[in-house]
Amino acid sequence: MLSNLDTAWRYPLALLLGLLTGLYIGGMLATIYVITAFRESLDTLSPIGPWFLRYAWADLAARPSVLQGALIITGAVTVALTLVGLAGVHRGRLNQYDDAHFQSRRELKRNHMVGTLDQNGFIFGKLGFPKSDAPFVMAPPDRFPHAMMIAPTGRGKGVGFVIPNLLHFSGSAIILDVKGENFAKTSIHRKHGLKNGIWYFSPFDEDRGSHRFNPLARIAALPSAERQYTALNSMADLFLIPEGESAQSFFNAGKRLFIASCLYAIEQRRPTLGFAGEIMAGGGDKKKSYTAIAETTNIPIVSRTFLEMADVPEKTLGAYVSVIQGSGLELWNDPAVDRVTSASDFDFSTFRRDPQSLYIVVQPEHLKTLAPLVRLLFADAIASLQRREPGPDEHHAVTFLMDEFDQLGRQPLVLSSIKTIRSFGGRFFIISQTIPGLDDIYGETGRRSLQGGAGVQIYMTPQDDRTAEVLSNALGRSTITAVTESQSRVRALEDSANVSRRSEERPLISANEVLRFPLDEVLVLPEGQYPIRARHIRYYEDRHFGPIDRARKGKALPTTRGSGADSRQVAVGKLSGLAASAERADAEVFGEAERVFPDMGEGALGLRLEGELDRRDEGLGHRLLLRLAQGFQETDLGDVRRKERDPAHGHRDFRTGPIDLGRIGRIAAALRPEKSQTFLRAPCGAALDALEPGLNAREEIAFAI
């Protein structure tokens, strides 16, 4: 009988029945003992008259040895039969097949998997229809800080999970937003309702613009080249993924060259991956450029690396550079990517102190292209959190919502930190379309490690057989009673039937049934618990989230223009696009430049433009810069830095940005052909006057080699 009961009731009922049975049998045996001790006839024994009801307490107290014996007999028999009952239930479970089942509401409450929205746990579904006031299926954040969802395209993970959680979770969030739907539907509430600062990172969004993120900024702030080298080595492993086994043989040497280029870029006060790529490219003559860098750097490991690379055969050296470019760095050849990674508008180290939301908006057709940059964003944020545990003023958790996880390529830092990031205030929610997609990137062992670290797995109706098989196995197997009826003809006179029953094991839901699972339901598998079957949320119909969604109508989205934590806009372009890695300048222009500056190699030709060149300034400096940038798609006025006069120490540089002389020469020639030779030959002041007469007298601007 007990084997057919819910697991939650088996042991309590076995305990109760054992106590009652033991108390009765033990009591009756003790009664026989007391009757004998009192020298009474056993004929007076009654099945409903145990000793503690038959005799007065005073009579028993007068014979303490008899009372003690009765208590011992009663207690011993009661305990023995109770233990036998519990052991029987336990053995019955061991001898049975598994008893997997979906959790009842009682079990859900006991396991704290239903909650109120004053908690910050992930929301997975509802116990009723979308419009009902049924409770939400939620994970307590202290027990399950992470989760993983497997959901094919078109299953409603956005309306059923991503958007409801972004409208609910009040801490900081870093969201990969494929298509930009999450930003459009949640950023207003996260800004005004949840008091988050809003950041919008979208390299290819020409209409809205983008905030900026410089992957080298955090590393450049480290106090020594040794620590910078270590950080760069880790960063390279996080986003550079060589393509094919043939590339692997060149990758390690190429990575050393990449790290040295980044260190040199930091030393030159231009810590960007775009500039590091320019340094690696080396211009027209890599050996000459590398030798010049080795002779000018003050960092020993940079000097050694570039001297070593200068002695490598040209073909092999080209292979080193090509492999690193193909592993992810070539993305920075795109001016839009170079632009949005030229500086950082947000600081991940502040996300635990001040609630902020970063939306990484990528269109589906750009996801593979931008995957290295997205990996770097997540890796830099994780590394920033893991530098130290939260301080007393850092009480906001940071949720990493990583959609299309398998499309981003391998992220070793996510794999290694999923079991430790919790203590640093981080929470992962990983979304992938299929199990095979994860297996292709991480292997089955890595995928199992991610699932184990996640704690909670959520599945929406799969489309492929492998995912269905994995899900069916994860749900477990249940025991059913199979009834078999056999009939036989006896003496050709009448039928007789034999009925037999036996226990059989079967999947709770078979793989074929999983493929036909209702599209409006989700399966939730918490670690250490039986699975949960829940209804989809449709946030726009929900009694809680629907009003929030309707309240955003008519309100403007957070802007990336103007000023403020969620409104700084990246400049429309990048003046460092005029830098040394640009296409080879016209031979005549470079020849003239090398004649004027005979000690400078082609790869090292450069100028620094410093002055009062503010974006809002309508003065001559602003107009000069715009003229220099004419004919180019991009210009970053922010890369031209201010130079201020200090009465005590003379000129003081705040920031500097290199500009390629050859490019400026070509622009000058295009703007004013008759002045181009003057620009290249004349001293600095005369060169400026050639482009804008009177400029030198009105503004403190200098060209310096």
Same domain, residue pair 585 and 492: no
Q: How do 521-526 and 456-459 pair as beta strands? A: antiparallel
Kindly state whether residue 566 falls inside one of the protein's structural domains. no
Same domain, residue pair 658 and 678: yes
Q: Mean pLDDT for the chain?
A: 77
Domain termination site, one of 339, 369, 387 = 339
pLDDT at position 308: 94
Kindly state whether residue 606 falls inside one of the protein's structural domains. yes
Domain termination site, one of 499, 516, 551 = 551
Same domain, residue pair 236 and 274: yes
Same domain, residue pair 675 and 583: yes
Kindly state whether residue 662 falls inside one of the protein's structural domains. yes
**What CA–CA distance (Å, rounded) separates 225 from 344?**
21
Same domain, residue pair 498 and 385: yes
pLDDT at position 488: 54
Higher pLDDT, 477 or 386: 386
pLDDT at position 471: 95
What confidence tens digit (pLDDT) does each residue in 171-180 have? 999 999 999 9
Instruction: Mean pLDDT check: name the lowest of 129-143, 486-500, 522-536.
Output: 486-500
Determine if the pTM surpasses 0.85.
Answer: no
**What CA–CA distance (Å, rounded) separates 65 from 71?**
10
pLDDT at position 676: 36
Same domain, residue pair 323 and 223: yes
Kindly state whether residue 60 falls inside one of the protein's structural domains. yes
Domain at 401, CATH number: 3.40.50.300
Kindly state whether residue 455 falls inside one of the protein's structural domains. yes
Domain termination site, one of 314, 339, 364 = 339
**Number of CB atoms found within 10 A of residue 45's CB:** 14
Same domain, residue pair 512 and 393: yes
Same domain, residue pair 476 and 387: yes
- The 3-class SS string of 658-698 reads EECHHHHHHHHHHHCHHHHHHHHHCCHHHHHHHHCCCHHHH
pLDDT at position 657: 35
- How many domains does the structure of the chain reveal? 4
Same domain, residue pair 418 and 294: no
Instruction: Mean pLDDT check: name the lowest of 102-106, 158-162, 327-331, 482-486.
Output: 482-486
> Is the pLDDT confidence value at 49 over 90?
no
Instruction: Mean pLDDT check: name the lowest of 107-121, 123-137, 456-470.
Output: 107-121
> Is the pLDDT confidence value at 571 over 50?
no
Instruction: Mean pLDDT check: name the lowest of 206-220, 477-491, 502-516, 585-599.
Output: 585-599
> Is the pLDDT confidence value at 620 over 50?
no
pLDDT at position 437: 94
**What CA–CA distance (Å, rounded) separates 704 from 606?**
9
Same domain, residue pair 194 and 222: no
Kindly state whether residue 276 falls inside one of the protein's structural domains. yes
Kindly state whether residue 563 falls inside one of the protein's structural domains. no
Same domain, residue pair 625 and 528: no
Kindly state whether residue 132 falls inside one of the protein's structural domains. no
Same domain, residue pair 410 and 504: yes
Q: How many CA atoms are closer than 13 Å to the CA of 368, on its beta-carbon side?
A: 2
Domain that holds residue 79: 2-95
